[in-house]
Amino acid sequence: MRRSITTRLVVMFALAALVTFSLIGAALYSVLERELSRHQDDDLNTNLQNIRYSIERVGDPERWTRVQAKMDTLTPADGRVRFWVLGDDPRFHYGKGLEAFERIDQGADGRGTISLPEHGGHSYRTVSARIEPLDQRPAVRLIVGVDVGPFGQTLHAFLSALALLTLSAVALVMLLGYWIARVGLRPLQQLSGEAQALRPNALSQRLQGMRLPVELSDLANAFNGALDRLEAAYQQLEAFNADVAHELRTPLANLIGGTQVALARPRGAAELRDALQSNLEELERLRSIVNDMLFLARADQGEAAVGLDEVVLAQEVEKTIEFFEFVLDESGTTVRIEGEAQARATINVALFRRALSNLLQNAIEHSVPGSRLAVGIARQADAVWVSVSNPGATIAAAHLPRLFDRFYRVDASRHDDGTHRGHGLGLAIVKAVADMHGGAVSAISADGTTTVAFSVPGG
């Protein structure tokens, strides 16, 4: 069964009320009991002193009748208080059911309880005192008793009232608790209502946290934070889709256009081969975009680099530069390696070369022929940074953080005039390679020098 907060609160309120009222009731009950007992004891002692004083002064049967009369007067009609006098001489006896007293032990202070059939089975709380002989009267024992019946009735009535009050109070607390829980949980319903109203086509909507209690506004803020990230990811995805479509459109248009032109009229084998050759270039371009995107998609899923080798980084850098020998010679550009030549790193060699190649490619593309490029190797904590610097136009600071975004190009128009054939995925791949190695990327551009770098684990 699903648990409801309201039910739980109501049950907890009820238990708390029950415990509280029971404790208070028990305390009141014991106070009342003690007070009633004290009251009875006072009553008993007063009567005992009173009669004892009279009996002590009486030594003959004639005057004893006066004592008897006094005791008669002091005995109320309802028999609430009673007197008994016992002794060896029956002339100085008083009270009904005297035989019963032979059976009970009155204790040192003469306190006790006695139940007498002669008095309708009533129980009496008693005190007694021994009175010394005088003249004809032998020593007697005076016993005073008060009926405990009313005492018990009072306690009983009190207990019933208490139980009734406790139950009613618990019921009342449960009702109030239900109401409190309903009112208290109303913001939660409002929140879930708002959350239900959220739709993917209105991703910018947020929960209104300000009107909520503190506890829930934290929840709403956390939820809104999740929505922010979702919205950002969603927008990125949408932009990415648009970019992909845009990137694929140009090579496809070229393919179609070229093919249409080739087919427009009969052509010789040489012409057709040229057309096919140019189609092949476009197709390779398409393949490279698709391959790069597949690679980025895998990296996105958090795939880590495998097949790691510990290498001397400077050697790998050198081997990578060798691939560019032809391009470099052609443009008269030179590359030198700077920094810590003996630094070692744990890398997937193929991925590392791919990343470094992309950086070198960019550096060559963005510098004038004959420039001097530099590849730097620098140790930092437990990472090694590899940077490629080239002289060239400074990139505005606003672009720097976005360079590693997919399809991001600082000057998008260059793409269309045919001078630059990049699709803006090179640096995204550098970042993916760094991510796969648990590394990071950085780009700085100042005073006509641009330096783009990434890090891999090592030291």
Task: For the CB of residue 427, give the shortest distance to Mg ion in the complex, in Å.
Answer: 6
Answer with the entry of ligand ATP, Mg ion, none that 410 interacts with (C-beta below 5 to 8 A by kind): ligand ATP
* Rounded distance between C-alpha atoms, residue 240 and residue 234, angstroms: 10
Which of 25, 426, 439, 458 forms a contact with Mg ion (CB under 5 A)? Answer: 426
Q: Per the structure block, which two tokens stand in for 132?
A: 């010394």
Q: Does 251 contact ligand ATP by CB under 6 A?
A: no
Q: Which helix (H) or strand (E) holds 58?
A: none
**Angle, in degrees to the nearest 10, between helices 149-197 and 5-56:** 170
Task: For the CB of residue 424, give the shortest distance to ligand ATP in the complex, in Å.
Answer: 4
Task: For the CB of residue 437, give the shortest distance to ligand ATP in the complex, in Å.
Answer: 18
Which of 128, 217, 348, 362 forms a contact with Mg ion (CB under 5 A)? Answer: 362
Give which of 282, 220, 227, 225 is closest to 249, Cα–Cα. 282
Binding mask 386-425 for Mg ion (x = CB under 5 A): ------------------------------------x---
Contact 365, 351 (CB under 8 A): no
For residue 134, list its beta bridge partners. 137
- Tell me whether residue 32 or residue 410 sits nearer to Mg ion (CB atom): 410
Task: For the CB of residue 435, give the shortest distance to ligand ATP in the complex, in Å.
Answer: 15
Which of 450, 453, 455, 458 forms a contact with ligand ATP (CB under 6 A)? Answer: 450
Which of 251, 258, 424, 458 forms a contact with ligand ATP (CB under 6 A)? Answer: 424
* Rounded distance between C-alpha atoms, residue 146 and residue 229, angstroms: 84
Q: Per the structure block, which two tokens stand in for 110?
A: 């003469």
Contact 178, 8 (CB under 8 A): no
Interior angle at CA 453, CA 449 and CA 458, nearest 5: 145
Q: Does 127 contact ligand ATP by CB under 6 A?
A: no
Residues 141-160 that bind Mg ion (CB under 5 A): none
Q: Rg of the chain over CA atoms, in angstroms? A: 53
377 φ/ψ angles, rounded to the nearest 5 degrees: -125, 120
* Rounded distance between C-alpha atoms, residue 81 and residue 146, angstroms: 5
- Interface with Mg ion (CB under 5 A), residue total 3
Contact 434, 355 (CB under 8 A): yes
Which of 328, 356, 360, 363 forms a contact with ligand ATP (CB under 6 A)? Answer: 363
290 half-sphere exposure, CB direction, 13 A CA radius: 10
- Tell me whether residue 170 or residue 452 sits nearer to ligand ATP (CB atom): 452
Answer with the entry of Mg ion, ligand ATP, none that 366 interacts with (C-beta below 5 to 8 A by kind): ligand ATP
Task: For the CB of residue 404, give the shortest distance to ligand ATP in the complex, in Å.
Answer: 7
Which of 133, 422, 438, 457 forms a contact with ligand ATP (CB under 6 A)? Answer: 422
- Tell me whether residue 25 or residue 424 sits nearer to ligand ATP (CB atom): 424
> For residue 189, how far is the Cα from the chain centroid?
19
- Tell me whether residue 450 or residue 455 sits nearer to ligand ATP (CB atom): 450
Task: For the CB of residue 428, give the shortest distance to Mg ion in the complex, in Å.
Answer: 9
* Rounded distance between C-alpha atoms, residue 64 and residue 323, angstroms: 142
- Tell me whether residue 95 or residue 426 sits nearer to ligand ATP (CB atom): 426
Q: Does 217 contact Mg ion by CB under 5 A?
A: no
Q: Does 410 contact ligand ATP by CB under 6 A?
A: yes
- Tell me whether residue 89 or residue 243 sits nearer to ligand ATP (CB atom): 243
* Rounded distance between C-alpha atoms, residue 219 and residue 209, angstroms: 9
Which of 148, 220, 427, 432 forms a contact with ligand ATP (CB under 6 A)? Answer: 427
Residue type, 118: E
Which of 126, 217, 387, 390 forms a contact with ligand ATP (CB under 6 A)? Answer: 390
Q: Does 97 contact ligand ATP by CB under 6 A?
A: no
**Sequence-distant contacts of 364-369: CB under 8 A, at least 24 apart:** 364/324, 364/327, 364/328, 364/331, 364/333, 364/390, 365/420, 365/422, 366/390, 366/392, 366/393, 366/450, 367/333, 367/391, 367/392, 368/392, 369/331, 369/332, 369/333
Task: For the CB of residue 365, give the shortest distance to Mg ion in the complex, in Å.
Answer: 7
**Angle, in degrees to the nearest 10, between helices 426-436 and 349-365:** 150
Binding mask 139-178 for ligand ATP (x = CB under 6 A): ----------------------------------------
- Tell me whether residue 142 or residue 429 sits nearer to ligand ATP (CB atom): 429
Q: Does 95 contact ligand ATP by CB under 6 A?
A: no
* Rounded distance between C-alpha atoms, residue 319 and residue 317, angstroms: 5
Which part of the chain contacts Mg ion (CB under 5 A), choosing from 177-185, 293-301, 305-313, 359-367? 359-367
Number of Cβ within 10 Å of residue 220's Cβ equals: 20
Q: Which residue ranges make up the site for Mg ion (CB under 5 A)?
A: 362, 422, 426
Q: Which residue ranges make up the site for ligand ATP (CB under 6 A)?
A: 358, 362-363, 366, 390, 392, 395, 403, 408-411, 422-428, 450, 452
